[in-house]
Amino acid sequence: MPLLSKKGINLPTSPIRKLVKFSDKAKEKGVEVLHLNIGQPDIAAPKEAIEAVTSSNLNLLPYGSSQGSLSYREKLVGYYSKHNINITLDDIIVTTGASEALTFALNVICDANDEIIIPEPFYANYNGFASASSIRVVPVISKFNSQFQLPAMENINEKITPKTKAILLCNPSNPTGYVYSKKEIDTLCELALKHDIFLIVDEVYREFIHGGEPHYSVLSNQRFSEHTVMIDSVSKRYSMCGARVGSIVSKNNAFIKNVLKFAHLRLSPPTYALLASEAALSAPKSYLEGVISEYTARRNTLIKQLEQIPHVEVSKPMGAFYCIVKLPVKDAEDFSRFLLTDFNLNNQTVMLAPAKGFYSSPNVGLNEVRIAFILDQKKLILAATILEKALEAYKKFVN
């Protein structure tokens, strides 16, 4: 049998989708599964986006620009200016989702065996993107008890070696919901400047802020423009995960020039998805205001319900639509599997994302799960009830 690459064999399995085969079997048995494992919004996309596709009269889908259509990039420049991010058309490359943007960024910045520093827990696919590019992830643990705020700067600084090429983080954070402050972002920028490395910030949840801490973009301060890269996407903002349209933005001309080489390799972003994404930017301000208000209400409902479950601890997300939850179990992955294979309440159960997959350090987060509050409040209350009953049943199941 031909040998497979070690890269492919060692590629980590997604903790978000790892248990899908068990949820599929549960559904085959007629059990309704409430999916809190994946950040798939259930809120309708802007009608402008859908209508742009359904009303189009295209009779040919030709290749587009590798950089993304001019009209869409013009719309993005206007969108970012409203967030005090001043860029030009040439600072943007449109990508097939934020995933491709991150893959491009890592490949442009790093060679094989180079290192990137990431505060953990972090979006699990960062591990996969790095591994696929033969890049080593160097984690710096942030703590549940401090709501996952940025680790002490000396802890990050001591991880920097001649192999370090970038620091990567998500703001607001997936999976913790932490929102990094202006001070924290600028301090990391200073560190990047000092060591002549990049700071890459995934800002796909920019709008989703719950409370008083405003979002501060990594591109806000022109002083750090040569060392900063922003990753973005329409997936969460406009409930358009399937469109697969993201962007990579930087004022570092040499960086963008080399990203474009990778964009040439995949030819162009998808035409219909670009139409929808461009139209979404024309949605009224009230659309996003309503979405943000709904997620904040869901956050508050979920936290209230979870805090009533004995021995369960909940982080309080400041942004995005995720929270990390500590459960009174030794192995949260085993419990999450139990929910799908051996438990249901009135023929309903819940699917969670075991949090150990969001850490790169071994034996961390074993009793934690990530919960995405992407269902309506009624379903979130039901999910919390199911979780409480399942914890009681699991205690008997393992003893």
Q: Are residues 112 and 135 part of one domain?
A: yes
- What are the tens digits of pLDDT across the range 286-311? 999 999 999 999 999 999 999 999 99
Please say which residue of 280, 308, 332 terminates a domain.
Answer: 280
Q: Are residues 354 and 273 part of one domain?
A: no
Indicate if the alpha-carbon torsion angle 369, 371, 377, 380 is positive or negative. Answer: negative
* Helices 47-54 and 271-280: angle between axes, nearest 10 degrees: 140
| pLDDT computed for residue 145 by the predictor | 93
CA distances from 399 to 245, 388, 393 (A): 48, 17, 10
- Domain span including residue 342: 6-44+286-398
Q: Are residues 165 and 38 part of one domain?
A: no
Please say whether the beta carbons of 228 and 248 come within 8 A.
no
- How far is Cα 47 from Cα 382, in angstroms, rounded to an integer? 30
CA distances from 189 to 182, 199, 200 (A): 10, 7, 10
The CATH number of the domain holding residue 296 is 3.90.1150.10
Q: Is residue 32 part of a domain?
A: yes
- How far is Cα 142 from Cα 312, in angstroms, rounded to an integer? 20
Entry pTM: 0.96
| pLDDT computed for residue 3 by the predictor | 87
- How far is Cα 382 from Cα 390, in angstroms, rounded to an integer? 12
Q: Is residue 147 part of a domain?
A: yes
Please say which residue of 245, 280, 315 terminates a domain.
Answer: 280
Please say which residue of 261, 280, 299 terminates a domain.
Answer: 280
The CATH number of the domain holding residue 183 is 3.40.640.10
Pick out the chain residues at pLDDT < 70: none
- What are the tens digits of pLDDT across the range 225-236? 999 999 999 999
Q: Is residue 51 part of a domain?
A: no
Q: Are residues 264 and 119 part of one domain?
A: yes
